[in-house]
Amino acid sequence: MILVEHATVLTVDAERRILSDGSVLIDGRDILQVGPAPSVRPPRTPERIIDGRRRVVAPGFVDTHVHLTEHLSRGLMLDDVPVARYLPDWLLPLYSTVTPEEEAAAAQLACVEMIRTGTTTFCEAGTLFDVAAVADAVEAIGMRAILGRWTWDVGGQTGRLRQTTDEALGHTADVLAKVHGRAGGRLGAWPLLLGFGTGSEALMLGAKALAERHGVGWGMMHLALHPRLRTRDTTSVARLDELGLLDQRTKLAHMVYVDDADIARLARRGVKIAHCPSAGLKHTKGLAAHGRFPEMVEAGVCVSLGGDSGNGSNHFDMLRLMYLAATVYKDARLDVSVLPAERVLEMATIEGARALLLERQVGSIEPGKRADLVLYDLDTPEWRPLLNPVNNLVYAASGASVRTVLIDGRVILDEGRLTTLDERALYDRVERLGREHVRRAGVPIESKWPVIR
């Protein structure tokens, strides 16, 4: 048993209680009791007591759309590379040459970044080739994750990147059989499609059928249509609905261009959305001008947050994603009431859990749920004074105040020290593998400013 006592606890429970002197009792992987400190009574002496008097305890964030592999080439692309050149000139050469060792190292780097910024659960956009290597890496670090093989079947990919419909569905069935339920249920697997016009209707329908058979969700990237946007992503939300592809198992990432009828459809069908504000802004997807995420939230659509990719957002820091989600639309609409901090914190926690069909296990601090907790250090300037912890968390906090992280009841970050991995060795490995990977792909490492060696 672990007892965290006398902390400020943001429960995000049904009543959204904030306990100013609260305790959380953890038994094994589960939360046993939560409440005002005097009411939490361990049935036996806990093995560890964590003094929470100078800590805020919040549910671990749930990041619903990350590309693990691209972390190994993070920051490679210069700002003024035209968006249309990303795939042919950079991403496809990188994607097509990555090795299992590199995919695993990228996953480790991504996991460490997420843990150190308060994320405890994530869903991958899709591993390129070796899900088993990625699953081993994620399992060893101790994160909770939904993994899967990235699939597509149209779009003219060649060589190692080519997949037929049957191959794509076969890869997915294989991962569902081998990865789903691993690590005592901490690792899940879903059918994951690249989307953006690279999946046939047969692939989408096959993915959904596999998801139903295994009782899991399925995910795809979808921009939705905009008349002025040149995109291969030509399947409308209405068409997806006609095909029977929209229901509570469906998670769609990005989803910038939707109209009122689309929003009503998404709400009616219980579709889950991964909103990726940092990547949307940097990739000039037109978020501020066209994004309808506040309206989706208003209509009852489950909108969660995603960090996206190493050259899209360049980071997987949910604290910064929350800040953007809470500010971009206020400014765009000239309305301070749009997406308040409380709503955005829900997007990063309980709505993220709903998006991954994990709301009975994570996303809030409640008895019976898994103990996925983040302890923020109040001895940091950003948290003081502690007049409104929600505002401090959404608008002021940075990863620098993340001191201790528990996942599945296990202390993964202990007073700033990672317990499951040698971080220094990882950074050395990533530096070496990242350079080898980029060189092998034949992509130049460029700088606009002279680099003196």
Which stretches of the chain bind Zn ion, using CB under 5 A? 125, 308
The tokens describing 17, both together, are 């209680």
At its nearest, how many Å lie between Zn ion and the CB of residue 308? Answer: 5
The tokens describing 141, both together, are 């670090």
Which residue lies nearer to Zn ion by CB, 102 or 308? 308
Which residue lies nearer to Zn ion by CB, 262 or 308? 308
Contact between 276 and 253 (Cβ < 8 Å): yes
Which residue lies nearer to Zn ion by CB, 63 or 308? 308
Contact between 136 and 104 (Cβ < 8 Å): yes
The DSSP secondary structure of 58-97, one letter per residue, reads EEPEEEEEE-SGGGGGTT-S-TTS-GGGIIIIIIHHHHHH
Which residue lies nearer to Zn ion by CB, 308 or 351? 308
Residue whose pair of structure tokens reads 């691209």 in the numeric block = 70
Which residue lies nearer to Zn ion by CB, 49 or 161? 161
What are the start-end ranges of the H helices in 225-286?
Answer: 237-242, 260-269, 277-282
Phi/psi of residue 166, nearest 5 degrees: -65, -40
Query: Whole-angstrom Cα distance, residue 83 to residue 155?
Result: 17
Phi/psi of residue 128, nearest 5 degrees: -70, -55
At its nearest, how many Å lie between Zn ion and the CB of residue 286? Answer: 16
Contact between 286 and 262 (Cβ < 8 Å): no
Which residue lies nearer to Zn ion by CB, 249 or 283? 283
For helices 341-348 and 318-333, what crossing angle results, to 10°? Answer: 140
At its nearest, how many Å lie between Zn ion and the CB of residue 113? Answer: 16
The DSSP secondary structure of 363-427, one letter per residue, reads SS--TTSB--EEEEESSSGGG-S-S-HHHIIIII--GGGEEEEEETTEEEEETTEESSS-HHHHH
At its nearest, how many Å lie between Zn ion and the CB of residue 194? Answer: 9
The tokens describing 128, both together, are 């390129």
Which residue lies nearer to Zn ion by CB, 125 or 204? 125
At its nearest, how many Å lie between Zn ion and the CB of residue 222? Answer: 10
The DSSP secondary structure of 139-170, one letter per residue, reads HHHT-EEEE-BEE---S---GGG---HHHHHH
Which residue lies nearer to Zn ion by CB, 125 or 412? 125
Half-sphere exposure in the Cβ direction for 445 (13 Å, CA)? 13
Which residue lies nearer to Zn ion by CB, 168 or 397? 168
At its nearest, how many Å lie between Zn ion and the CB of residue 408? Answer: 26
For helices 201-214 and 165-178, what crossing angle results, to 10°? Answer: 20
Which residue lies nearer to Zn ion by CB, 119 or 361? 119
Query: Whole-angstrom Cα distance, residue 348 to residue 302?
Result: 11
Which residue lies nearer to Zn ion by CB, 280 or 389? 280
At its nearest, how many Å lie between Zn ion and the CB of residue 150? Answer: 10
At its nearest, how many Å lie between Zn ion and the CB of residue 29? Answer: 30
Amino acid in position 102? E
Query: Whole-angstrom Cα distance, residue 162 to residue 89?
Result: 17
At its nearest, how many Å lie between Zn ion and the CB of residue 221? Answer: 5
150-to-68, 147, 227, 314, 438 alpha-carbon distances in Å: 11, 9, 28, 20, 20
At its nearest, how many Å lie between Zn ion and the CB of residue 227? Answer: 23
Coil, helix or strand for 51? strand
Amino acid in position 413? L
Which residue lies nearer to Zn ion by CB, 24 or 94? 94
At its nearest, how many Å lie between Zn ion and the CB of residue 205? Answer: 22
At its nearest, how many Å lie between Zn ion and the CB of residue 244? Answer: 24
Contact between 67 and 308 (Cβ < 8 Å): yes
Half-sphere exposure in the Cβ direction for 328 (13 Å, CA)? 24
